[in-house]
Each structure stands twice: as structure tokens, then as C-alpha cells.
Amino acid sequence: MRDVMGVINIDSMDEPLEELTGTRCIASVPFGGRYRLVDFVLSSMSNSGVHNVGVFTLNKYRSLMDHLEDGKSWDLNKKEEGLFILPPNNYPLVNYRGDLHNFYDHLDYFYRSRQKQAIVSAGNIICNINFSGLVNFHRENSAHITIFYKELQGAGEFEHCRKLKTAKGGRVLQIEEEPGTMEDSDRVMIEIYLMEKALLVELIENSTGNGSCSLLRDGIIKNIGDLRVYGFPHHGYLSVINSVEQYYRHSMELLNTKIYEELFFKHGLVYTKVKDEPPVKYLEGASVSNSLLANGCLIEGDIQNSILFRGVNIHRGARVKDSIIMQKCEIGENAVIENAILDKESHVSGGRTVKGQKNNPVIIPKRKSV
């Protein structure tokens, strides 16, 4: 895998997770009690032996830079290669046209990288993948590009992702240009693909001259008849976070022991920024069932089917059910929290009730007091 580099492409201009992406990019949204969304694909790359990873950011990336630092937590603080955080050039974001132009601003990074192939991935994918199978498949088929895809298992899955059609042997015949327009396929494209670095550089170099701006739309979909594009199936657990409903649903799936063990242990550990904090402290009156609690929490109340991040304080008589409580939140005495997402450092006063619905959880923004 030393001939493969990683590219984490965070090019979303909008705020798909509403208040949760109001002050941060989607890749740095907290997930699973102590992680960020970017941790999963970054850990997969590191565990697969990828030692050169470029993280291409666009906006609201301060918290992402603080989280990633020099890449030490992912064993990417190397003297040569390692982790590179590559923000856009200093131009107004209203002039931003697409990820190819962001790549163009950092062409030197690609020129100086000695690898022959690149794994290009979005930053909002929850997975734990050993990429060696993808790389072997790509090389055996002499492919220009190999795309991950999943077989749909039910309605509502991957609703914001594009579908594709493949021939026998895996050759990709068609990728829908807009999600939801291809009804005769049950294979959905995951924005993780392996491609020849020389081809990627060629697409980047040509982007300014021919009006191309999107790697997927202009580089892959429009050239699918001229390139050897293959699909590679992924059979394990994987989710794409594109909405608050998906974030809430896939977070709650972590309370399923089978899913939790597959995601965090099957293909190697998922790494994150290390913080030294004491274990959870349970005081008299505490009651916890089917929940994930991170270090540093202080619990006096009742917790059911919930995820608590580091340093959460639940006071006496408070009840938290089916909720996600992020770092350093405080829930006052006899407060009730149900079907809710509380962003970092928010506070719910004693006796207050915060209640949403399973298909529409209520969000308390960062540092908000209720």
C-alpha cells in the first residue's frame, strides 16, 4: 500500500446537518461519544498502510485542524509524507466552483507525492475498511477508477447518494447524474474511489481550460465511456451522514452490539484525538441502561438508550432517553431529555423538558442554554 496515497475531500458548501454544521465542517461533526466523522475513513487509510494523506478543506475548518493536529493519533506524524491539511487559497468562497479547482490550488502536493494511485474519499462516511481488497481488484482489472458501492437493503437507505449500473465483471456502465433519477438499480455509489494518480492530475490540470469543476460529475461521470471504471462491492457496515435524521439514526445504531463491534474492531481500531480524562463517575441515584458513555462523565440521573460524550454532567433526578449529549453538556436536576441532540457545552436548566421525535430529533445548538 506504499504506492497508494489518501485524499479526503471535504468540499461541501452547505450545512446538511443544520445547527450541527453551523460552526464546523461536516467532517468534524462529533460522532459516537468521542470521535469525529473524519476519524473513520482516516483510520481506515492508516490501518491499510496509507502513509500519505491530504485533507482538502473548504470552509469552517478551524475545529477540524484542531482535531487532526499533526496526525499523531493516526500514526501519520512522519518525517516524510504523513498528514497534510490543505485549505483553499485566499479567494471568496462565493467564487468556489468545485473540488477540481481546490485540488488545482495544491497541485504541488500531487506532484511531490511518489504514489501511483490515490484513494479519494468524502469526509462524512462511517466505515472501517481494509482497502487492500479494493487495491488488488483495481490492479487486477487494470482499471483507471474503481468505485465502492453498496447493495440497497431497504427504503430510505443512502437516499442522497447516486446509484450506478454495472456489467458482469464489475465494469460500471452508468452513474446517475442526480440522486433519485435511476429506478432500475439497487446499487448505490459510495464516494470512496481508487484512481490512478496520473489520471487525477490530468483531470486537475485540464479543469481550468475546459470548464470542469467537479471530479465526480465532470471527471468521472462524463468520461465513463472512455475510462475503465469498475465497481467494487462493500459488504460490511457502512453509512453516509447527509442529514440530521441519518446522523441520529446511525448514531443510535451504535447501541447495537453487533454493529458496534464490527465498526470499531473488525478491521482495526478507529483512532481519534487522545484526551486524558478520568473514568465515568456514577453517584447515588444513577441508573444507566443500553447506553454509551465516554470518559469524564458525572452521572446522578437516569440514562436510557443514549450516547454521552466526554465530560457530560447529569444531575440528580434528570432523565435522558434516546438522545445524543455532546461534550461538556450539563443537564440540571429533574430535567427531561428525549429524542434530542445537544451540541457541545449546552445547558438544560433544572425541571426543563426537551423532547423531539425519533424521525425529527430536536437540536440544541452549541453553548445554548435552555
pLDDT at res. 37: 97
pLDDT at res. 178: 82
What are the distances in angstroms from CA 126 to CA 22, 164, 192, 263, 317? 21, 21, 12, 8, 34
pLDDT at res. 329: 98
Q: Considering only 7-16, 76-85, 195-204, 305-314, which range has the smallest mean pLDDT? A: 7-16
Has residue 93 got a pLDDT over 80? no
The predicted-structure confidence for 326-354, as pLDDT tens digits, reads as follows 999 999 999 999 999 999 999 999 999 99
Q: Helix or strand or coil: residue 11?
A: coil
Has residue 90 got a pLDDT over 70? no
Question: What is the per-residue DSSP string for 306-319?
Answer: -EE-TT-EE-TT-E
Average pLDDT of the chain to the nearest whole number: 92
- Where helices occur in the chain by DSSP H, the ranges are 38-47, 62-68, 99-104, 107-112, 132-140, 197-210, 244-253, 257-265
Which one has a higher pLDDT value, 88 or 5?
5
**Domains of the chain (ranges, CATH numbers):** 4-265 (3.90.550.10), 281-364 (2.160.10.10)
Query: What's the rounded mean pLDDT across residues 99-118?
Result: 93
Confidence of residue 267 (pLDDT cuts 50, 70, 90): confident
- 247: Cβ–Cβ under 8 A, 6 or more apart, which residues? 17, 20, 29, 31, 241, 341
d(CA 353, CA 337): 6
Has residue 27 got a pLDDT over 70? yes
> What percentage of the chain has pLDDT greater than the value 90?
77
